[in-house]
Structure 1
């Protein structure tokens, strides 16, 4: 069976992990953690990056940093993972789910603007498949209405919009290093802070609500409880694995892009409406390759019969039990449900063999009699 995903493994991670063990520093914010955050801050050219146990944890921190609470409304796409909504529902906010643009499956700026009320606190965008949302339009809407913008860039590390790295445009952004992501450490994430005034509080939130970071820096002679917070720290063992991946980010992305291009060129006969769309002002990181078809279940079964694992993706959150409990769809669901039911993701991971990609392409073409 050709698997849908295999966690990226360069081959040098074991050496880095052994070094972390030898250093006898296994908790968060150690030497490997600093190497990772330095890399992120340099590559992204952002004010501050901190490592977290997951992208979910980083999203929860953005809810705290924006002081989201009961009575607030948060606008986001319904077509996203549950963590995007959970982070704000946990603080008592009400979620207003909005429609996507069918070409990219990214949030529709027009739908966002129509969903704004006097209670709107923030807009959360999700860069689906590592392809950027229309951030220029989103930021204009946010500025006009004095709203926070959070980029859920879980899938988008190294992708760009108008020449800028995704994750550096909104006030805050979050990245994922889950085993399904291009760059991984099994479980992990990062919070990027583009709002400098929030850096000090973010460091306090990360350290369980204490000013321990100031103590480590020698700024205070002891640390104490200063604010609410939690243990939003990535262990040094995970950071060691992550550091090797970040060092080889160019190699990883180039390999994935080669596979993505092979799929795109090999399946071009399906037509543009069936293939991923990358706007001209965006570059992407080949996080996933999907096709859209009204025969999704039939095709998935056919591929399974030929030892190929292809998978669907999100069930729109507004259709779920929790989605109805903690929010509602604002406006009309023109594209979210209809388009999401067509998406089938194909195997794509670092090191996938060319013959396996050809195997997938050939069977899809045979299925559609191309």
Structure 2
């Protein structure tokens, strides 16, 4: 039973927004490259479309966060969701790939208006003593959208094709469904969310009164952690399907099933870990979660069978699920209340820089050293393991920087 004193209508509604936003981003994962190429783009340009969304979101995040600190979170969330509705429909009717690229970029910018104020308002609406649990709950909502998105989108596309729509039109239907979900979320936010963030003030007055954000050492450490976290994720994100296929000959449907199931099974761990971080502290929970995830990253590419690889995959994702609410809690704890939205925007930039740049390094290492083998004493390390080893090492560097350099009380 959900405790209504903790899980207010605002928190539950923002959890739905987190779910819808994550679902929207991952909904086209199983067919998006085919949709892009069907509009005339090349396979090599697929990464540009994905990066355009992330880049726009990162670039606009600090300003949007700053604006939410000045005028409140709720109206910006509604604006962002409205953008999702409009650009989702435009994605359905877009006539060519270059218009799709423009729409993708603009959608990324407006999506930041939904995500950054939502994250800030979740923290605004929780207390210091239950912040971890609330962040664990909303993180679980986002992960539910992330892991169900590809399956949901692929199913809608398949059904549309079976009902007689052409292949290219079947790719368009999931975007329309996404717009409907965002439209429903607008009404939910408008009716149920209470803006408990900074008070609404006159914009001209706020410009003259508000000083520039000052970054404390702990805030800087968390920005470095965000960069390493995004980089570690980016190094291996494009390689999961390739590893299962190149090493074991696993088919795409099975790969997708492994990815979704390993994510969904570990979903509840985020919620539980968030509550645990309120009792024993953020840093111990972050250490356990991130440590487990990074250790599994070292072992995963060395496993001799599909089953053991999938098991490492499961524990890796579970570790990251455990660490996520603690990470978000520390981020919220170190951010000044009056600059919370703006700082969350800078955090998103730091994360996105790593997430955008390191996939290039990961795919280069994987393709270049795929058939190589290196000896470390009695241990033979295949070349395709290099991105995973580098990913875990980078992740541990970020983790130790937080554990060593950020000083705090019990929490």
Same fold (TM > 0.5)? no
* TM-score, normalisation: structure 2: 0.26
* TM-score, normalisation: structure 1: 0.28
Structure (1/2) with the larger helix percentage: 2
